[in-house]
Amino acid sequence: MATPERRPILLDFEKPLSELDARITQIRELAEENEVDVSTQIRQLEARAVQLRQEIFSSLTPSQRIQVARHPRRPSTLDYVQAMMDEWIELHGDRSTGVDDLALVGGIARLEGRPVVVLGHQKGRDTKDNVVRNFGMASPGGYRKAMRLMDHADRFGMPILTFIDTPGAWAGLDAERLGQGEAIAYNLREMFRLNVPIICTVIGEGGSGGALGIGVGDRLLMFEHSVYTVASPEACAAILWKDAAKAPQAAEALKITSTDLKNLGILDQILPEPVGGAHSAPLEAAASLKQALLQNLNELSTMTHQQRRNLRYQKFRNIGIFAEVPA
């Protein structure tokens, strides 16, 4: 049986594109029924659709970028693993609680023949899958599993690649009972001492300490329409203005886009996305990510262990630099 074609999931600002595509389809069908040649008009409308798509996605507001970053069909960690890696062996468990956290996946892979350890948040594709994956919000066991695999990578000299895509760490009562804050803080401290190269990439939504728990690295990469924030705009708006409806205003103030973070010196490299977002052409997005990872790995591999640790330390020290201006 043929697999039914999935209907596109349209974001609010994509509606003009949808209307134009529907018009093109309607004209083409009417022309075929009446045996009329409208190829010239169709080409003009298709060119207009391409231009409109480029115009829309080149001028997204921060709140619109959040919609793209949260798109249900945006490529996930396991999608990129499948598209980029020659081999993949997923590893499970934190060797502590006896439970495997499915919101944070990890394992050993080969990238162009080079052994690497890959870690990343994993969201679901639908509601049922998202419930299983806890919507990409990792538990303390997930962060301890990540640290266990990073120690393994350091012991055997394998570079670490982390893919960040979470609204934040799980904030349930059980998470607090099992030491969520301690697990994340432990990872932050320990990642600074690792000798191997660490490259972190924000592939979707990078939220709060949940993102930072696997976000300490030598290089921070970020897809063009991804976001990286200390708190979600909805939470920020609720805290500051007691009104979650002011989330777009909060998104603007938080400086969460790749361009903002590059200008602030937090981000090392912006990865361009296909027109329409990574979900519109996932293999193209994966090829762009793979090229960037290989380039950065080659550069970091020329450094000594001490040089990489110093680079990592200074990178995060510089984020906290401030200047006092006389009144």
Q: Which is more confident, 68 or 58?
A: 68
Is the pLDDT at 134 greater than 70? The verdict is yes
φ and ψ of 205, to 5 deg:
-110, 120
Is the pLDDT at 3 greater than 50? The verdict is no
Tokens of 65: 């970028």
Closest to 191 (Cα-Cα) out of 312, 89, 14: 312
Mean pLDDT of the chain: 89
**Is residue 261 within 8 Å of residue 267, measured between CB atoms?**
yes
Q: What is the DSSP string of 2-57?
A: PPPPPPP---GGGHHHHHHHHHHHHHHHHHHHHT---HHHHHHHHHHHHHHHHHHH
pLDDT, one tens digit per residue, over 209-268 is 899 999 999 999 999 999 999 888 888 898 889 888 899 899 999 999 999 999 998 999
Tokens of 293: 């990872």
Query: Which residues share a beta bridge with 266?
Result: none
Share of the chain above pLDDT 70, in %: 97
pLDDT of the residue at 158: 97
Return left, alpha or beta for 176; rule: phi > 0 is left, psi -120 to 50 is alpha, else beta.
alpha
The model carries a pTM of 0.88
Return left, alpha or beta for 233; rule: phi > 0 is left, psi -120 to 50 is alpha, else beta.
alpha
Is the pLDDT at 35 greater than 80? The verdict is no
Beta strands in the chain (DSSP E): 87-91, 104-111, 114-121, 160-166, 198-207, 219-223, 227-229, 269-271
Is the pLDDT at 6 greater than 70? The verdict is no
Is the pLDDT at 5 greater than 70? The verdict is no
Q: How many CA atoms lie within 13 A of 270 on its CB side?
A: 17
Distance in angstroms (rounded) separating the CA atoms of residues 145 and 142:
5
Q: Which residues contact 7 (CB under 8 A, 6 or more apart)?
A: none
Is the pLDDT at 4 greater than 50? The verdict is no
DSSP state of 172: S
**Is residue 109 within 8 Å of residue 85, measured between CB atoms?**
yes
| Amino acid letter, 16 | P
Distance in angstroms (rounded) separating the CA atoms of residues 97 and 17:
49
pLDDT of the residue at 1: 40
pLDDT, average across residues 33-60 = 78
Distance in angstroms (rounded) separating the CA atoms of residues 278 and 223:
8
Distance in angstroms (rounded) separating the CA atoms of residues 52 and 23:
14
pLDDT of the residue at 92: 95
Distance in angstroms (rounded) separating the CA atoms of residues 199 and 297:
8
Q: Which is more confident, 95 or 146?
A: 146
pLDDT tier for residue 7 given thresholds of 50, 70 and 90: low
**Is residue 11 within 8 Å of residue 68, measured between CB atoms?**
yes
Query: How far are the Cα atoms of 63, 143, 162, 262 from residue 220, in angstroms, in the given order?
Result: 22, 19, 10, 10
pLDDT, one tens digit per residue, over 262-280 is 999 899 999 999 988 899 8
